Amino acid sequence: MLGAVRARPTKAISQNKRPVILVVGDSLSAEYGLQRGQGWVQLLSDRLQQTGSKYTVVNASISGDTTSGGRARLPALLKQHGPAIVLIELGGNDGLRGLPVAGMQENLIAMIRAAQAVGARVLVAGIRLPPNYGRDYTERFYATFANIAKQHDTALVPFLLDGFAESADFFQRDRIHPSAQAQGRILQTVWPALEPLLLAKVGQ
């Protein structure tokens, strides 16, 4: 399971009247096993702040969370933060628990629709499972992210850990959670899909 212990969410850099990027994820985005401030979401916050971006980041990621948990939490988060962009990084724990792909898909679609209903632009971050979960399950699982992104017109990061998933050097001892040195690479993977959303006019 991706982070059975709840990690501390990255502190939001919130300022009134600034458009919000809301990150709803699991331990891959919640700094699990890392020192505070080392996670890729905080690196994103730092990058935006350093470049004078109008956006602020709210990290609502919780270690161990599933798509059903994210779906349940999202309405209150949307009401509280009124985000311009919602980045959904969930599904890994569904897969590691062997939960039905159809249920994960339903939850992700519900989250996308809820975010779009309040005018937010959406980015979906996909994940792959280890091959020991069986070829049929892992392929259907991975394809779900691209399918729903296409069907619901969202931005997509096909694989959050692209480029280093096979290298133990970029993981903590559990071989599931990326190390501190991998966090910058995750941001590099997310950035090309996120940047066009940042450049769009707020409210589009």
Measured distance CA(56)–CA(45) in Å, rounded? 7
Tell me if the pTM is above 0.85.
Answer: yes
Per-residue model confidence as pLDDT tens for the chain (204 residues): 565 434 344 444 344 579 999 999 999 999 999 999 999 999 999 999 999 999 999 999 999 999 999 999 999 999 999 999 999 999 999 999 999 999 999 999 999 999 999 999 999 999 999 888 999 999 999 999 999 999 999 999 999 999 999 999 999 999 999 999 999 999 999 999 999 999 986 544
User: Rg for the chain (alpha carbons), in Å?
Assistant: 16
All residues at 6 or more sequence positions from 181 whose CB lies less than 8 Å from its CB, including other chains: 169, 170
Domain map of the chain by residue range? 20-198
Give tens-digit pLDDT for 124-139.
999 999 888 999 999 9
Name the residues annotated as catalytic.
Answer: 27, 174, 177
pLDDT of residue 201: 65
Topology (CATH level 3) of domain 20-198: Rossmann fold (3.40.50)
DSSP notation for 114-169: HHHHTT-EEEEE-----GGG-HHHHHHHHHHHHHHHHHTT-EEES-TTTTTTT-GG
pLDDT of residue 202: 53
